[in-house]
Every structure is written in C-alpha cells, then in structure tokens.
Amino acid sequence: MPVLQPVPLASYASRIFQAADTPKMTADLVGQSLVSANLAGHDSHGVIRIVQYLRQIDEDEIRPRARPEIERETPVMVLYNGHRCFGQLGAKVAVEDGIGKARGNAVSVVGLKHSGHVGRLGEWVGLAAEEGLIALAYANGGRSGGLVAPFGGAERRMGTNPIAVAIPLKDRPAMLLDFATSAVAEGKVRVAFNSGKEIPEGWALDKNGAPTKNPGDVYEGGMLLPAAGHKGFGLALLTDYLGGILTGAGGPGKPGSILGKGVLVMLLEKRFLLTLDG
C-alpha cells in the first residue's frame, strides 16, 4: 500500500476540486479537511469522499462556487443558507460566526441549511473548543429517502444523523465526542466495501430486511440500523428535528426537501457559568 504525506495529498485533493470549478480557497479548505479526517483515524470521512463530492457536483447537489449566506440573524442566533455550497465551507463560516457571537453574549446558536456533506462533524465543534467554548452540533440529511431504518423497521427513513460535542479542558486537548446515531457511519461501510471486507453483524440489513455482513448490500437497496436500538433511533429523531426541521433543511423522509445537510450548533461560554458557580 502506498504511503502518502498529508501536505501533498491535501494539495492534490485541492487541485482535483479546482479542476471542477471550485475556487482555490474553498478547494484548499475541503482538501485539508478531508486529509485531517484521515490523520484523525477516520478514513470514512477522508479522501475517500473526493469521488462522492465530484459526483455531487456533476448532479448539482454541490455547487462549487456557492457560498453560505445569512438568512436571518439576531445578536445570539444566525441562520445560514448554504445554497448547496461545500459543507466544510458552510460549517466553518457558520461556526466562526457563532464563536464571535458567543464571545459577547456567553451563548450562541447557529444554523446551516442546504449545504453539502460537512465532513467530520467533530472538526467544527473542535474549532469552537480551541477558542474555549463548549459546542454541541446536530447534523441531519443525506440521500433522498434516507439510509437508516427506524428501530424495528426494515425500510430506509433517516440519515446517519451524527451528533458531536466538544468541551475545552485546561492544559489538555478538548474532550470530543462525534458519533453517528446509526450503528456506524456510512463511510465506514464504504471503506469495508472498497477493501473487500465484511462488516460486523448488527450494522445493516439487506433490501429484504434480513441481517447482512456484506457491505455491498447497503448500496443495493439495503439499510443501516440505528445505534443501540431505540436509543439511537430517538437520538436520530432529535437530530432530524434540530438539524433538519428547525433549520428549514428538511430531511430525507420529508417530501420536497432539498438534498443536503442541515446543521444546528449551540455554543456556550463556559467561563460565564463557572463564574456563576463561584
């Protein structure tokens, strides 16, 4: 297996996106984000996504020159319309805005709708934690019709709907949680598929609703299962509401929804609360 260095790999990814009419600044951001996911040990959210993004550009699901635009705003809340921009661009712009708002108000809430895949959701709550803020993020969306079956069901209804939380710690890296509400992130199934490996039992059902260890079945009408049964299903519903319905992004099971991500991020200035505790 070839060994690639991260800097030239990110540059190569950027050049691929630039060849697909993406501005260099955006292409650099996306390339660096994907490679950082590989370096964090999550190949499911790394450069494996390049082919997916190029396909989505061809199908007008990602518009490479689009930029997020503020749709509504208050001193502590802001909603961005991504206009099908790259998700990494939309997430970065939205979270950086939220960081500024939380600095002056101790709390902020930012929403992003109609963007592409945001990559590793933990990257963006981690960005807030680097600035000393607690951040909670909920992201819904994905392919039309969904990819995940409800608890007890055997048809696709929801996305993988990840949740991420980051809490800054003194003199240590932030505590960071980032997990799909499905049994596994879809990208990990794709990594197994590309590697010719089986997936564990309990991850997926085939198109007939039967348990399967063949990752290819997921892409032939099959579906992922929710994490931890009814608990993961409940968290997925919560994420569909906060990240999808509340932001106006909709969701895979909602007729008329624009294909893409909806993200809601809540940011808290922990020093304000710690001061109150005295």
pLDDT tens-digit readout, 160-202:
999 999 999 989 999 999 999 999 999 999 999 999 999 999 9
Structural domain range at position 130? 66-182+226-277
The pLDDT of residue 85: 97
**What letter would DSSP give residue 242?**
I
CB 152, CB 144: distance < 8 Å: no
DSSP state string for 16-80 = HHHHTT--HHHHHHHHHHHHHHHHTT-GGGTTTHHHHHHHHHHTTSS-TT---EEEEE-SSEEEE
pLDDT value of residue 271? 82
Low pLDDT (below 70) residues in the chain: 1, 142-143, 253-259, 275-278
Same domain, 23 and 2: yes
What's the pLDDT tens digit per position in 210-234? 999 999 999 999 999 999 999 999 9
73, amino acid identity: E
> Does residue 175 share a domain with residue 100?
yes
CATH code of the domain containing 112: 3.30.1370.60
What integer pLDDT is reported at residue 141 of this predicted model? 78
Same domain, 254 and 173: yes
| Structural domains in the chain (count) | 2
